[in-house]
Amino acid sequence: MVLALAAVVAGCSVRGTAAASAGEAEAQVRAALAAWPLDFAAKRTAAVCGLFAPDAVLSYPGSGDRSAAKACAQFGALFAVPDKTFIYAPPEIEEMLVDGDTVVVRLIWTLTISEASGRTIVVVREKGVDVFRRQPDGSWKIRVSHAYPLAP
């Protein structure tokens, strides 16, 4: 009887720990996603690139897959454009699935591109799936990012 009770208590404890861990993972990923548009607007290249794992693959229709290094070089070039601003709104998170060291996020990003005068040139809404992996240091970074434009 004592053994059975100990097994039940241990099972509840493991499930409780897994749920807490999943909740912590979700909170950390949400925080990272919330910070990214702020870093992007401030042109903090290192912070923007810090969301991506070194072995990340980014995929967007009409362009080849990009490595994290190539995407970061593109971000740096974008930030150097003096006559335009690129602003991402906070992401609209549609769904988040947590499984161990993986978090899958379905979301929508909205990018507004404006002239230096402030006049909006274009607003692009992109639907995407980002697959986060827990890194050896415990942080969460995007390993796979697939985005595509929504119809206007």
The pTM of the full predicted model, rounded to 2 decimals, is 0.84
Per-residue pLDDT of the chain (152 residues; tens, 9 = 90+): 444 434 444 444 444 445 559 899 999 999 999 999 999 999 999 999 999 999 999 999 988 899 999 999 999 999 999 999 999 999 999 999 999 999 999 999 999 999 999 999 999 999 999 999 999 999 999 999 999 999 87
Which residues in 102-140 are b (16+ Cβ under 10 Å) and which e?
Answer: ebebebebbbeebeeeeeeeeeeebebbbbbbbeeeeeb
Kindly list the domain boundaries of the chain, sorted by start residue: 2-149
Q: Distance (Å, rounded) from C-alpha 95 to C-alpha 86?
A: 25
Q: What backbone torsions phi and psi does residue 146 show, to the nearest 5 degrees? A: -125, 120
Query: Domain 2-149 adopts which CATH fold?
Result: Nuclear Transport Factor 2; Chain: A, (3.10.450)
Q: Distance (Å, rounded) from C-alpha 133 to C-alpha 58?
A: 14
